[in-house]
Structure 1
Amino acid sequence: MVSAVKIDHVRKTFRNDQERIHVLEDFDLSIKQGEFLTIIGPSGCGKSTLLKLIAGLDLDFEGQIRIGEKFVNGPSKDRGFIFQEHRLFPWLNVEQNISGNLSLKNPNIRSKVDQLLSLVKLKGFEKAYPRQLSGGMSQRVAIARALLRNPEVLLLDEPFGALDAFTRNHLQEALLEIWKENQTTMVLVTHDIDEAVFLSSKVVVMDAKPGRIKGIVSIDLPYPRTRTNKSFQEYRTVILKSLDHHVNELEDWSI
């Protein structure tokens, strides 16, 4: 079976006048089709940089990245990207922000946008403008926009990091519903351990300077998950300990 995402010996270096900074070093990772994978690690470990490489937004790296059987050589509709800031166009309403440069007069586009509005629970807000939306609603618009072109992989760079705890929890549940319904491969970057355990089938823990995989935690918990559950807290503790720089590097952790 071909992996949804295959990262082989990726190395990323930033250069300035005085030094070369190794952001990612010999990074190898396979992500299965339909998997919900979360990447967690300290600031500066290269999490967001890795997402940009997968998205094709930065091609200055060594190694290879494939989506299915195709090598990444630039942005493509087979990858959707959601940033921490929703980045909606303030002069467009909700349905126009979702459709982007595709015409809502096209019956197929109109139908798809209507389906996505239902999926992200924004029916009734089609004509609203970003200034009239809450932060959580704006991120739901961004998610719908990213899903419009049926991406094989959805890349999420701390999409809920700027939201309050209540809204963040609500959107985590909404994202799980979208994942289950669409079976889109999800790759999420976060600093939030609870978020990683709540959402993921697998958590990749990264180390910094240079960024590399420190360990992988498979989350063997049924959905929906309860944060107060004993097993949930055990996984949380495992990941928290794995982030400790004094813990030896491991390939896989389990409880």
Structure 2
Amino acid sequence: MAADTLVIERLNRTFTSPAGDVTALSNIALKVKKGELITLIGPSGCGKSTLLKIVAGLDSDYSGTVLLNDKPIEGPSIEKGFIFQEPRLFPWLTVEKNIAGNLSLKDSKVRARVDELIALVRLKGFEKSYPRELSGGMAQRVSIARALLRNPEVLLLDEPFGALDAFTRAHLQEVLLDIWQKNRTTMLFVTHDLDEAVFLAERVVIMNPRPGHIRTVLPIDLPFPRKRASQSFQELRRKVLSEFEKVEEPAVDRDHGAGI
């Protein structure tokens, strides 16, 4: 049995403001095994992005335990890759230089790794292209390659395909699964799309809103490659939808609105 790469226990996150405190996450507990791909779904304001930022080391103002390979997370590091909804590429750098970042392509090991990643995300022939010359899907593939450059222990994806059209989104889901199956990088993937959640995940984590907490975790026992039109896929999608429909409405108050 695979060891746990990520362990979260009794995690709480409260935001403080002059108008009062808002609890974004309450008593979160989750264990993610090495090489596992987990999707997180829930309504806006349930703290999905806040959870990813804590795991990434971008937010340390919380209580509870967050361990990566049995060590407390104490800030950003090369062990964690983060992919945002927008590609966030440097417009003055080519595809290969965006992927390499602050590493020199003159280094033979860096050059080999960048070439490997360009092939992995299916961008061969576009190495010298600039972001302005890429489609949205191609730009997001560059951001995936960049996040994988240093072989992170865990890859955190915050709705990375949310702004793309349906065709491009489906294609990039296939690309991501191909990368995952080849590298077995542990992935935590936030989405609002039920089809995407079921199509990608080994387990789907459903969250309730404010204060954000895990309602249930559903295993997706379907072999890869998956077919959305298959009866087994549709049955599991209905099961996830049934649980999702039980999610409570976000709490609303005059001072803070619908959530974090």
Superposition TM-score, scaled by structure 1 size: 0.95
Deviations 1:32-64 (A, max 9, x none): 000000000011000010000000000000011
The C-alpha deviation readout for 1:203-235, integer Å capped at 9, x for no partner, is 000001110010011000010001111111111
- Contact in 1 for aligned 2:215/2:247 (Cα 8 Å): no
Distance 1:246 1:43 in 2: 12
1:4 is paired with a residue whose SS is strand
| 2:117 corresponding residue in structure 1 | 116
2:207 aligned residue: 206
Distance in 2, Cα, partners of 1:235 & 1:213: 19
- Show the counterpart of 2:128: 127
* More displaced 10-residue stretch of structure 1: 150-159 or 226-235: 226-235
Residues 1:151 and 2:155 are matched in the alignment: no
Aligned partners of 2:231, 2:15: CA distance in 1, in Å? 42
Which residue is 2:5 aligned to? 4
- Displacement, 1:15? 1.2
Residue in 2 aligned with 1:167?
168
Q: Which residue of 2 aligns with 1:98?
A: 99
Kindly tell me: are residues 53 and 128 of structure 1, through their superposed partners in 2, closer, same or farther at Cα, counting changes over 3 Å? Answer: same
Aligned ranges 1:1-255 → 2 under 5 Å: 2-245=3-246
Tell me if structure 2 keeps the 8 A contact 1:9–1:64: yes
Distance 1:112 1:240, change over 3 A: same
Task: Give the distance between the partners of 1:120 and 1:246, measured in 2 at CA.
Answer: 36
**Aligned CA distance change for structure 1 residues 211 and 192 (closer, same or farther; 3 Å):** same
Q: Alignment partner of 1:216: what SS?
A: strand
Q: Percent identity?
A: 58
Distance in structure 2 (CA, Å) of the matches to 1:10 and 1:219:
25
Cα distance change of structure 1 residues 52 and 198 upon mapping to structure 2, 3 Å threshold: same
Q: CA–CA distance in 1 between the matches of 2:239 and 2:198?
A: 10
Let me know the Cα RMSD of the aligned residues.
Answer: 1.0
Q: Structure 1's 223 and 246: CA in aligned 2 closer, same or farther, altered over 3 A?
A: closer
Deviation of 1:246 after TM superposition, in Å, equals 6.5
Task: Give the partner amino acid of 1:43.
Answer: S
Residues 2 and 69, structure 1, Cα contact 8 Å, conserved in 2: no
8 Å contact from structure 2 (residues 154, 185) kept in 1: yes
C-alpha separation in 1, matches of 2:6 and 2:160: 20
Equivalent pairs counted in the alignment come to 247
CA distance in 1, matches of 2:8, 2:110: 33
Is the deviation greater in 191-200 or in 14-23?
14-23
Deviations 1:120-163 (A, max 9, x none): 01111000000000000000000000000000100000000000
